[in-house]
Structure 1
Amino acid sequence: MIGIDLPAAASNVIGKVFRGGVADLRPVPRVLVGHGPNRWVYRMAGDGSGDPVLLVPPLAAPALCFDLRRGCSVAEHFVEQGRATYLVDYGTVSFADRGLGIEHWIDEVLPHAIRAVSADAGGRPVHIVAWCLGGIFSLLTAADQPSLPVASITTVASPIDFTAIPLVAPARPLIELTGGWLLTAPYRVLGRAPRQIVRWAFQLTSVDKYVTKPVAVLTHLDDKEFLAQIEAVDRFMENMAAYPGRTFGQLYHRFFRGNDLHDGVVDVEGRLISLADIRVPVLVIAGATDGIAPSPAVQRLTQLLDSSPDIRFEVCPGGHLGVLTGRGARHTTWRLMDTFLDTHIAA
């Protein structure tokens, strides 16, 4: 405890014990502007103008990834920047959703969300900012339906080359030896990939942080921002959702095993979707210490966008979640997104 500011530490302990925590977890105020199966589209409160920005989360991870806590909220930042900011939320996944496949998200959920945002913003084109799998689905949607009012796409920590992910390399031989049934049987029986499994997989990418977390908390008791971030990330982890069984199966066999995205062409229900058909500017951001989507796995996208008029690639500090909404993201990732949007957004 040497070197700790004792009064600050005492104040933080009181906050955690008697006030429920030190993080400001209030969500950015919002209003519902569209909804349908597996989609709730919200407009964030504010006086935003110009082309709208739509925040697209991945499956399983809660939409609060874009609104983690006050001070580390992408949504809050964009609202403060005067942008018309929207968010799509998929809600929870139940056993009844087990038959939903990738096509549901790229044929129905995202196209309807994009049109709802454009309509609410007076017919303006939509700039997509997406994280992880949300980026992959947004890219496939834009490639498959070029008539959608999409003005640009920003992907953060979206892996394209799955063979470039060292974390999963040790499991590949066993998976191929069993013909893929190592994970196929469980998700078919359960009808989904359970939320606890999704949470464990996410935690596995930074197991060292979870092992040393108690010590880190004790040595940072006087650092309110540090403690607040841990609280916010803990809440994020507690709100992980399940993957629909069929969607998980497609992701597992086509992306993880088959690495279909590597060449930029994916077969979705008998039709081929090519990332080369994307005709809007694309910003690609990778996290410097991301174990789920390391830089080489993310950068592969820049080699596939043959028709995009503007392709930018950047590596920013942070892991899989930290690169999007870590304590330093405001000065790195968010600045890059602001510059990109300012270049392509209409006033």
Structure 2
Amino acid sequence: MDLLPKPDQVVSAAGNVAHKVLYGGLADLRPMPRTLIDEGTLRELYHYRPSATARETGDPVLLVTPLAAPALCFDLRRGCSVAEHFVTGGRPTYLVEYGEVSFKDRSLGMEHWIDEVVPEAIRAASEHAGGRPVHVVAWSLGGIFALLTAADADDLPLASLTIVGSPIDVSQVPLIAPIRPLLNLGDRFSPITRGYQLLGGAPKPLVKWAFQLSSFQKLVTKPLALAANSDDADFLAQIEAVDRFTDNMIAYPGRTFGQLYHRFAKGNSLVGGEFELDDRTISFADIDVPVLAFAGAVDGIAPVKSVQALMPLLTGSPETRFEVVPGGHLGMLTGRAARHTTWQVMDEWITQWSSDAADDEEDGTAEEATEGIGTNRRRRHSSSASRALSR
């Protein structure tokens, strides 16, 4: 809204206020319809019901959520929903989420997600989709779990990996870098260690506070932003949807939180490309499927350099691609700009590496595709050759 609002802006702002008062909000928060098709301990696999206007076809997509964040990250609101985008595009779409984490789950470690949750979700999605290979799209910590799973299990029906906002080099994370030397002081008796042991993990209020802290500037300026955009219904709807997402944060299991704290925050254990888990070493070099990685231009949780550190480690991947897109940690995935940036690149990448595309290439039809982002299967985008969509 202008400093001196125009009459039409005043009318729009008044209309937005009236709509919010009468209907409770401006955002269309209806979830995309889905069906539970498989489940286990902290594992629920859903199939999104096909759109009435688009027949399901092609390889399936599996959306992998991170720990502590609700599955709303992939279904924020109508018009800004990754799930809605894939479903209305006719792509068989699946989601794995973890349900509520409680004190009884405190003994579960990262191996539960790497050995069971993610690989079982991939296998079940492939089977449900008729045995087709699966394109995994994973956000934040879900991306790290997906990478470690793909590196450790060589028999999964994987077509490609898309990693969104997953920090590999935590020394590049502004929230952590200044305090990392302090984290090693009084290890066993530090307040953080004693705290998560006593509580059985990181409780939901703490997780919510940490997520808000990562966007502290936006949190402080939020009242001004709301006032300045009171005539923009879509902006206000996005704020409502993000607030709902933040209010639904989930707790971390105790042992998993301990591993993340000691080995990621303190040890920066992924930066060398290898991760020790139980009695084995998992190496990113063993990932043998194409990998697309996104970084958000203004992401405070996974800054560009922290995500970019993954690319030189993927020496076994047939093709890698790194993209910088507009937005912060959540916005890069499901913000208003993501419709024309992140999602467009995802579509092109999945089409490029789908089994149907391979058949078309053998028939010679792939050469007729218009040259553009992701259409040349022989082009390799290293981290140094990234095209930044934010420019």
Q: Same fold (TM over 0.5)?
A: yes
What are the superposed Cα offsets for residues 190-241 of structure 1, whole Å, 9 maximum, x if unpaired? 0010111111111111111111111211221110000000000000000000
2:256 aligned with 1:254: no
For the 8 Å contact 2:170–2:177, the answer to whether it is kept is no
With 213-222 and 245-254 compared, the bigger mean Cα shift is at: 213-222
1:285 aligns with 294
1:2 aligns with 4
**Which AA in structure 1 matches 2:248?**
N
What are the superposed Cα offsets for residues 35-54 of structure 1, whole Å, 9 maximum, x if unpaired? 11111111111132111000
1:297 aligns with 306
**Which AA in structure 1 matches 2:36?**
L
2:69 aligns with 61
Distance of 2:220 and 2:78 partners within structure 1: 27
1:39 aligns with 43
1:266 aligns with 275
1:202 aligns with 211
Give the gaps of 5 or more residues in structure 1.
Answer: none
1:114 aligns with 122
Task: Give matches, 1:1-347, under 5 Å.
Answer: 2-3=4-5, 5-46=9-50, 47-179=55-187, 181-347=190-356
**Which AA in structure 2 matches 1:30?**
R
Distance of 1:82 and 1:226 partners within structure 2: 28
What are the superposed Cα offsets for residues 11-50 of structure 1, whole Å, 9 maximum, x if unpaired? 2111211201000000111111111111111111113211
Distance of 1:113 and 1:150 partners within structure 2: 11
Distance of 1:300 and 1:81 partners within structure 2: 32
Aligned-residue offset at 1:173: 2.5
Distance of 2:62 and 2:130 partners within structure 1: 14
**Which AA in structure 2 matches 1:215?**
L
For the 8 Å contact 1:131–1:158, the answer to whether it is kept is yes
Distance of 1:7 and 1:107 partners within structure 2: 56
What are the superposed Cα offsets for residues 158-201 of structure 1, whole Å, 9 maximum, x if unpaired? 00011111221222232122337241110000001011111111
Distance of 2:212 and 2:29 partners within structure 1: 21
Aligned-residue offset at 1:346: 2.3
Percent of aligned pairs with the same amino acid: 62
For the 8 Å contact 2:187–2:193, the answer to whether it is kept is no
What are the superposed Cα offsets for residues 281-311 of structure 1, whole Å, 9 maximum, x if unpaired? 0001000000100011001110111110010
> What SS does the corresponding residue of 2:346 show, helix, strand or coil?
helix
For the 8 Å contact 1:175–1:182, the answer to whether it is kept is no
For the 8 Å contact 2:168–2:270, the answer to whether it is kept is yes
Distance of 2:178 and 2:281 partners within structure 1: 30
**Which AA in structure 1 matches 2:334?**
T
Distance of 1:217 and 1:48 partners within structure 2: 39
What are the superposed Cα offsets for residues 243-279 of structure 1, whole Å, 9 maximum, x if unpaired? 0010000011111111110011111112111111000
Distance of 1:119 and 1:198 partners within structure 2: 35
Distance of 2:257 and 2:209 partners within structure 1: 16
Distance of 1:194 and 1:138 partners within structure 2: 24
TM-score norm. by structure 2 comes to: 0.87
With 94-103 and 252-261 compared, the bigger mean Cα shift is at: 252-261
Aligned-residue offset at 1:330: 0.6
Aligned length, in residue pairs: 347
Distance of 1:15 and 1:21 partners within structure 2: 7
